[in-house]
Amino acid sequence: MSEKVLLDYGSGGRASQRLISQLFLGNLGNDELNRLNDAAELAVSGRVAMSTDSFTVDPIFFPGGNIGSLAVHGTVNDVAMMGAIPKYMTCAYIIEEGLPMDDLEVIVKSMAEAVEHAGVLIVSGDTKVVPKGAVDKIFINTTGIGDIIVDPAPSGDSARSGDAVLISGTIGDHGLTILGTREGLDFEAEVKSDSAALNHLLVRLVQELPEVHVLRDPTRGGLATTLNEITTSSNVCCELNENALPIRPEVKGGCSILGLDPLYLANEGKFICILPEAHAEQALEIMRADPLGQDACRIGTMTDANPGKVVLVTGLGGKRLLGMLEGEQLPRIC
């Protein structure tokens, strides 16, 4: 039988030492982390963006990634959405007793790959092992910080009437992958998570176009919920053009089977960019030059018609409200 994570590994004794030095430092180590001090010593000055997030995704492995890479991408992206260059991260693992060691290794390795690719350092970490049932397999918390390079930083309350609304690619891929895998459904055509670190693309974008008003990643609650948050805090109306929304046919098909709305599904490798009309074309060019933004397109316009609301102009040319999600979207099975 293959090795499992035991409560001993979280005891702080020898077993913990082995786990940390072999698995964590072996994969995630760097000069700062290797010092194993109680806290990391960092050189930060000026305006800093900081973000934290806990990852509890079920299933922990899914097509296109796993909880380890996701924990890096999620936090790196949150920091980068502030017009910042993400530099350092912390990560805390809460592991359920009995998790196969091989699984943990795959997760840590893909976390290592993800930080390497994003160009951030993990400078502090923590590992806890809890009794069976206290968590679901594994939870990971990550915190990231980075230097803000634009002034003012893009912010959810900065959208203005007349701004163009852009999206960096197709929507719904991640959310459908997760729900589909959880329900044990095999989609005919391949649907996989879009989980990716967007920081390099975002940094390029704000360096060339400091005029960007809002950058947001439409994660939980999807595009519809994120846009509602933006219209509420900016007190403008977002008119979305249903025909322009980039949704893969596989995702559309999968959603119609499960009774889900792709507009409310989480994304992990996409961002919304809201900026003055005059810069919209240039922003799209910058995005499309990057593989992570190759499907970027314009999806709507900010207006002052219905402040605080998102209005969907449907394929038929009708208009309707696109509200916030009430509770969780549950797949319909019948």
Partner 1 sequence: MSFELLEKFRDPELCRKLLDKMRGELTDELRFMEVCGTHTVAIFQSGLRSLLPEKIVHLSGPGCPVCVTHESEVNAFLDLAGNERVILATFGDLMRVPGEGRRNLKKAQADGARIKVVYSPFDTLKLAKENPDALVVFIGVGFETTAPTIAGTMKMARRQGIRNLRVLCFHKTVPTALDALLSDTAINLDGFILPGHVSAIIGTDPYDFIAEKYGKSAVVTGFEPLDILQSLNQMIEWRNTGEAHVANNYTRIVGEHGNPKAMEIMYEVFEPCDALWRGIGMIPGSGLEIRPEWEEFDAKKEFGIVITDGPALKGCKCGDILKGIKQPDECPLFGKACTPADPVGPCMVSTEGSCAAYYKYKLD
Binding site for partner 1 (CB under 8 A): 242, 249, 252-253, 256, 306, 309, 311-321, 323, 326, 330, 333-334
Do 225 and 325 contact (CB within 8 A), yes or no?
yes
Cβ of 88: how many Cβ atoms within 10 Å? 20
* Greatest pairwise CA separation for the chain in angstroms: 66
Residue with Cβ nearer partner 1 (43 or 316): 316
The pairing of strands 121-130 and 163-167 is unpaired
CB of 271 to partner 1, least distance (A): 26
CB of 263 to partner 1, least distance (A): 11
Element (H, E) at 123: strand 121-130
CB of 312 to partner 1, least distance (A): 7
CB of 177 to partner 1, least distance (A): 19
Q: What is the CA radius of gyration of the chain?
A: 21
CB of 194 to partner 1, least distance (A): 21
Q: Cα dist. 61→16, 68, 99, 106, 160 in Å?
A: 24, 9, 13, 10, 40
Residues 72, 69: Cα–Cα separation, whole Å: 5
Residue with Cβ nearer partner 1 (208 or 261): 261
CB of 105 to partner 1, least distance (A): 37
Residue with Cβ nearer partner 1 (12 or 307): 307
Residue with Cβ nearer partner 1 (97 or 250): 250
Token representation of residue 12: 């702080």
Q: How many CA atoms lie within 13 A of 319 on its CB side?
A: 9
Backbone φ and ψ of 231, nearest 5°: -65, -35
Residue with Cβ nearer partner 1 (146 or 254): 254
- Cis, bond preceding 152 (omega within 30 deg of 0): yes
Residues 313, 300: Cα–Cα separation, whole Å: 9
Residue with Cβ nearer partner 1 (122 or 322): 322
